[in-house]
Amino acid sequence: MTRIALEFVPPNSADGPEKAAEEARKVRDLSAEFGLTGKIDHLMIPGMIVEDDDRPVEMKPKMDPLDTWKAASPEVPGVRGLCTQVTAFLDAEALAARFRELRSAGMDGIIFVGVPRTMADGEGSGVPPTDALADFQQEVPNRGVILIPTRQDEIGRFNFKCERGATFSLTQLLYSDYIVTFLKEFAAKHEHRPEILISIGFVPKVEQNVRLIRWLIQDPGNPLVDKEQEFVTRLSEMKLKEKKAALLDLYKKIADGAGELGFPLSVHLEAPYGFTRPAFETFAELLDYWEPR
């Protein structure tokens, strides 16, 4: 598969299904305004879990991705679903039931996620995501994993996930073209060619003070990520015309560089501060240059 997915963060539980439907109508209307109707073919709904206490934006209880999808999908006809599923807190029986429910509701792909970064790999009373990849291949034909190309030892980690049964990956937000270097090195060492969902995120002016995106991509002591955070800072200070040009330049480097390596490429668009006209205007310009068709 290749696809163009838009991240659709579940609303706060207190706001209920009405808020999910309202946000989906916003997606529908902005898509129509900027020529993206029919291009955005998936909503990617993450399962939100509490992580570090220093998160710049308070994490309030969120709606479940399945409930969010049921409320949002009628407002965006023809759009399919993707979601993340934390496997580490569910036993095998509960996880199997969850996968069946997600699939029957119209989720084309499920991204298996482990414990939050406040916990160590392997913690949790449920099924580790690498075990789930191997054990639930019949229940979930399209099995996704998270790919962070700048993370140390990620090539070996990613290959192991592919060997366990991953069919696609969702990258962390990309603010450099290092993903091209990563995929070149991976392709030279390994035969797996899973679908890669390239995550591109709009950076509004409010990032200057809130710093949510810089928090999301943080990796203390990693010079590659330091450079990405610096780019995010510059983007937040730019006027919209300059911002679009800078993101388009990055997008071109990624699409042109990664497109020659034999991996099916998809696009994952993110607006971490919410759906706005500038974000959709930017997404439209990116997709005018290249889209996975």
pLDDT digits (tens, 9 = 90+) for 210-242: 999 999 999 999 999 999 999 999 999 999 999
Terminal Cα distance for the chain, rounded: 10
Q: In whole angstroms, what is the distance from residue 200 CA to residue 124 CA?
A: 30
Question: What Å distances lie between residue 169 and 68, 106, 117, 166, 194, CA to CA?
Answer: 22, 19, 19, 7, 7
pLDDT at 293 over 80: no
pLDDT tens digits, one per residue of 158-180: 999 999 999 999 999 999 999 99
Reported pTM? 0.95
Which CATH number covers residue 247?
3.20.20.220
Q: Which one is predicted more confidently, 116 or 275?
A: 275
The total number of structural domains that make up the chain: 1
pLDDT of residue 114: 82
Helix (H) or strand (E) holding 212: helix 212-216
pLDDT of residue 280: 98
Q: Where do the DSSP E strands lie in the chain?
A: 4-7, 42-45, 80-86, 107-113, 143-147, 168-171, 195-201, 265-270
DSSP lists the bridge partners of residue 170 as 146, 197
- Share the mean pLDDT of the chain: 94
pLDDT of residue 88: 87
Q: Contact 86/119 with Cβ under 8 angstroms? A: no
DSSP lists the bridge partners of residue 84 as 111
pLDDT tens digits, one per residue of 31-88: 999 999 999 999 999 998 766 568 899 889 999 999 999 999 999 999 999 999 999 8
Q: Where do the DSSP E strands lie in 53-122?
A: 80-86, 107-113
Sign of CA dihedral 272, 276, 282, 284: positive
Q: Which one is predicted more confidently, 2 or 111?
A: 111
DSSP lists the bridge partners of residue 195 as 168
Helix (H) or strand (E) holding 183: helix 178-189
Q: Contact 194/263 with Cβ under 8 angstroms? A: yes
pLDDT at 124 over 70: no
pLDDT of residue 126: 85
Domain encompassing residue 20: 4-289
pLDDT tens digits, one per residue of 200-213: 999 999 999 999 99
Sign of CA dihedral 243, 244, 250, 253: negative
